[in-house]
Each structure stands twice: as structure tokens, then as C-alpha cells.
Amino acid sequence: MPHVLNAGAALLGVAAGLMFGLDAGWALPAGGVLAAAALGLLAASWRMGRKAPPRPTGGPMAELIQMAAGSSGEGLLIATWDGVGMYANGAFRDLFFLDGDLGPTSLLDKVERALDSQGRSQDVFRKLRAAAADGTPAGGEVICRRQDGKPAWRRLRMEPFGEDGIGAGAGEGASRYVQWRAQDITEEKRQTATRQSAEARRADLLDGLPVGVFSVDGRGRIVYANSCLAKWLGVDRVAMGGKPFAEFVVSASPVNGGGDEDGDEESQGDHGLVTLRAADGTEFTASLLQSHRETTDGTLVYTRSILLRDMAWAEDGGAAGLGPAKRLRFLFDDAPVAIALLDGLGKVMDCNRAFLTLAGAHRDMVAGRPFAERLLPEDRDVVASALADVIMGRVRATQTEIRLAAPGGRQAAATLFASRMEDEQGNITGLVLHFIDTTEQKNLEIQFAQSQKMQAVGQLAGGVAHDFNNLLTAMIGFTDLLLERHGPGDPSFN
């Protein structure tokens, strides 16, 4: 067929050359040029009219067609590489709340408008569209708003494909399409948020406990320490990680140990008393309670330990009953009178629950702190003078009225009784302070004084009114007598 067309075009060119007056020598080349031009136009017309070959019926393309037909619950949208929507199945429209009568070409624009405009969802979607134009697979998570205003999370995955299936047609000039897969991950996000919230609450619970909590690995290095223990030791909590716990231990005396020794199981560790040294050199004693896990060959995996500060008294008396120290401690803690023990520097060594209630403070805010911090500034000099008399031995005990500063600007009034603590040689070792809460009494006294003032003002007002009434009675009486003597016609009446 091409040869026939070529010969016909050449004869047509020769005939045209002869018609325009060309001789036979020029007619033949002109005919060849015209033949080549005609052949090119015919070839272009044939290519433009040629139908595209049918797409394969199997493989990835068949999977896309099956999904688009609605046989899969996953949302699917098919678009061209430049963003023109071609088809979206019902699941995709439901996921992005698209109207059923929406034209396919505006699908992507409608999806973008359905996304939450307050966050990064629209930016993520625009990046996915840019990646689709570049022929690069990409994915992301976006938020769209339901009709009730609640957020709905969607996971999008975009993959280019060509006429021969996914991954084909990526070359320049090839026909490229894009498949958008969408999944509802709202419940997954909700469960993740719930789990993270629970983990945060557990972490806050451990970190905020008023006891020291820590864990060491098999080499004795700290892998976790809460804020309370870090505060006791005067070390940054993060900086404690990886340090041997033995660096802080001065001495240790186990009380009991043992427990279930089955391998790779939780078991009770050694309990006892430990003396720890803080970063500033001060030492304190704490009760240690711990459990540990070991492998089947007896290798320590980790320990989980709790430190209870100032609890050495709890071991007195044994298991049979309460020893003297325990009985004294219970009397001290449960006393209805506030009690505080001061050392020679005026710092609070210990206090009972009644004192903490009176001061409105936690034990960690009081223990080891100067007692003067609990007083109002205007009362500190008076209290210091009274306590100095006791320390110097000028008096055995003293009594004074004080006011304690409590959180929130509240004040607590109390009567302070101070006495000495002495050792066996009679040397002073500290002070015992007893407090009787007089806040309510002081308030009643203020109210009574106020009522007395109001009563005095009332009596004064009543007396003044009575005196004025006496004067007005006489004036009104004499006026009535004058009116009786002079009638209305009398010039003196007016």
C-alpha cells in the first residue's frame, strides 16, 4: 500500500510540473518532493485515526477495575496525573462526605475542600497531588470534619500507574493515571490517643509520688528515677540515668530477703535500710522495698525499688508487736496537737500530721527546711527571741502567740509551746514545739470585738435619739400651747 501511494504521488508531481511549464528534467524532482509531502500527510492522518489498543484484562488493572466496581470496602479514586478525577467508588465518596451527584472531574478539589482547614491536612493533600504530578508514590494522614463537627481521620495512599498496570507508564510522554486509596483510621487514632493518655497518667503518677521510685539494670545502673528521689539527692532526674546507684549509697543493712526464686519470674528482693548521700554532702536514711527479676540461670535482669524516707522506726518491735519506738511514733503522728522537732540550726527534723494540717503544707515542703519559713515575717523576731531563751537555758520552756503562713495567702493563728530536747548528758539536741490551733478562737474574738463595737454604736445612736426626742417633745408642746392662744385670725398665728 505505501508503494502504491508513493508511485501515485510521484506521477501527480510530474503532471503538476508539466502543467506549470517545467521541462521534463525539473518535473521529476518536483514530483518526488510532492510525493514525500503527500506521504507524510497520509501517515499523520492514519496515526490520528488509529484506535488505542485495548487495555489488558488481567493483572493490576483488573484489580483496580474490580475495586472501582464497588467489590472492595476500601475507598478508591482514579484520576489523571494532572489531577482530573475520573472515577470514585462509593466507599471513597462516603469517607470524604462527597455528594452522590458530584461530577468526577471535580473530585480532588472537593476532597481538598472537605479537609480540616485548621491543621496541616490540606498541606499534606497538596503535597500528595504534587507527587502525583511527578509520578512519585506518596502517602499521608489527613483530617476531615463530620457534619457534627467531630474529626474523622483518613489515611491516603497515592500510586501512579500506566496502561500496563501499576508502576508502568512512568516514562515521559506515556499515559499516566493515579490511584488514590483511602482508609478510615479514626478508631485507630482514638485508641492510640487513649493509650498515650493512659501512659502519660501512669508516668505522672510514678513521677509525682511522694516516695522515691527507681529501677536499676543487671549492672546496677539507674534506668529510671522519679522526681522525688532526684530532689532528695539533689541531682537532675535525667542526669541520673546510667549512673550506678551505688554512687549514692553510704551504707545498707538488709532486714529480710528471699522470696520466690523461680527463674524469669518477679520475686521479692532484699528489703532494709539504706543511708544515701545527696549531692551537697548531706546524708539521710530511708527504708528500701524492692522486687527483682532474674533469668533461669540467676542473672539479674532489673529491680524496681521504692524508698521511704525517715521510716527507720517502722522496723522496731519486730513482727510480734509494737516496740517502744513504734508506739511513740504512733502517739506522735496521731496526736491532736501539732508537734514539730527542730535541730540545733532551727530546721524541722520531723513533724506530725496535725502540724502539716495546721501549716497547710506537704511533708516535703517542711522537712529539712528552716522553721522560720513557716512564720509571718513580722513574727519571726519575737519567736527567735523566745526560742533563744530556751536554747541558752534561761528558761526551760516558753509560750508565745504566732501566726503561720499557709498557701493561698491564708494565715493560721496558734499558741506555741517550746521546750528543750536533751541527750543523756543533758546537752541540748534540739527543740520540741507544740502548737495549739487558735485560728477559730482568734476569728471569734475578732467577731466578738466587732459585735461589741456595733453594740456600742447602737447604744450611742439610741441615746442621742432619746435626747433629741426629749428636746423635740418640749418644743412641740410649747408650740401647741401657742397655737391654742392665737387663733387663725390672729396676726401672731402666722
Domain regions of the chain by residue span: 2-49, 61-190, 209-315, 324-437, 453-494
- The C-alpha atoms of residue 340 and residue 431 are separated, in whole angstroms, by 8
Q: What is the pLDDT of residues 478-493, one digit of tens each?
A: 888 877 777 777 777 7
What's the whole-number mean pLDDT along residues 426-434? 88
Q: What confidence score (pLDDT) does residue 49 get?
A: 41
Q: What is the pLDDT of residues 215-241, one digit of tens each?
A: 888 888 998 888 889 999 999 888 888
- The C-alpha atoms of residue 398 and residue 390 are separated, in whole angstroms, by 7
Q: Given pLDDT bands bounded at 50, 70 and 90, which one contains residue 163? A: low
Q: What confidence score (pLDDT) does residue 312 get?
A: 47
User: Is residue 92's pLDDT more than 70?
Assistant: yes
Q: What confidence score (pLDDT) does residue 43 get?
A: 45
Given strand 397-405, what is the order of strands in its sheet? 348-351, 338-342, 428-437, 411-422, 397-405
- The C-alpha atoms of residue 234 and residue 240 are separated, in whole angstroms, by 10
61-190 topology per CATH: Beta-Lactamase (3.30.450)
- The C-alpha atoms of residue 181 and residue 88 are separated, in whole angstroms, by 10
What's the whole-number mean pLDDT along residues 346-360? 88
Q: What confidence score (pLDDT) does residue 494 get?
A: 65
Q: What confidence score (pLDDT) does residue 60 get?
A: 52
- The C-alpha atoms of residue 185 and residue 153 are separated, in whole angstroms, by 5
- Answer with the residue of higher pLDDT: 3 or 420: 420
User: Is residue 476's pLDDT more than 90?
Assistant: no
User: Is residue 122's pLDDT more than 70?
Assistant: yes
Compute the residue count for the chain: 494
Name the least confident of 76-85, 100-109, 310-319, 346-355.
310-319
- The C-alpha atoms of residue 26 and residue 21 are separated, in whole angstroms, by 10
- The C-alpha atoms of residue 429 and residue 407 are separated, in whole angstroms, by 30
Total-model pTM? 0.39
DSSP 212: E
- Cell representation of residue 33: 518532493
What is the dihedral angle through the alpha carbons of 74, 78, 79, 84, rounded to the nearest 10 degrees?
A: -80
Q: What confidence score (pLDDT) does residue 140 get?
A: 93
- Cell representation of residue 63: 484489580
Q: What confidence score (pLDDT) does residue 28 get?
A: 46
Q: What confidence score (pLDDT) does residue 255 get?
A: 63
Q: What percent of the chain clears pLDDT 70, i.e. is strictly above it?
A: 73
Answer yes or no: same fold for 209-315 and 324-437: yes
Q: What percent of the chain clears pLDDT 90, i.e. is strictly above it?
A: 11
User: Is residue 182's pLDDT more than 90?
Assistant: yes
Tell me if residue 76 falls in helix, strand or coil.
strand
Cβ contact 212:232 at 8 Å: yes
- The C-alpha atoms of residue 479 and residue 196 are separated, in whole angstroms, by 93
Q: Provide DSSP, 133-199.
A: HHT--EEEEEEEE-TTS-EEEEEEEEEEEETTEET-S-STTS-EEEEEEEEE-HHHHHHHHHHHHHH
Residue closest to 136 by CA, chosen among 182, 170, 180: 170
User: Is residue 63's pLDDT more than 60?
Assistant: no
User: Is residue 439's pLDDT more than 60?
Assistant: yes
For residue 402, count CB atoms less than 10 angstroms from its CB and return exposed for 0-12, middle for 13-18, buried for 19 or more. Answer: buried
CATH 3.30.450.20 is right for the domain spanning 324-437: yes
Q: What confidence score (pLDDT) does residue 291 get?
A: 84
DSSP 82: T
Beta pairing, strands 165-166 & 176-184:
unpaired
- Answer with the residue of higher pLDDT: 219 or 328: 219
Superfamily holding 209-315: PAS domain (3.30.450.20)
- The C-alpha atoms of residue 249 and residue 259 are separated, in whole angstroms, by 24
Name the least confident of 36-45, 121-130, 247-256, 447-456.
36-45
What's the whole-number mean pLDDT along residues 439-459? 82
- The C-alpha atoms of residue 445 and residue 317 are separated, in whole angstroms, by 47
Name the least confident of 3-12, 66-75, 322-331, 448-457.
3-12
User: Is residue 289's pLDDT more than 50?
Assistant: yes
What's the whole-number mean pLDDT along residues 329-346? 82
User: Is residue 379's pLDDT more than 60?
Assistant: yes
Angle, CA of 180, 186 and 189, to the nearest 5°: 110
- Answer with the residue of higher pLDDT: 307 or 270: 307
Contacts 24+ apart (CB under 8 A), 207-214: 210/362, 210/363, 210/364, 211/306, 211/307, 211/308, 211/309, 212/286, 212/306, 212/307, 212/308, 212/309, 213/304, 213/305, 213/306, 213/307, 214/240, 214/245, 214/305, 214/307
Q: Given pLDDT bands bounded at 50, 70 and 90, which one contains residue 2? A: very low
- The C-alpha atoms of residue 78 and residue 55 are separated, in whole angstroms, by 15
Q: What confidence score (pLDDT) does residue 155 get?
A: 93
Mean pLDDT estimate for the chain: 76
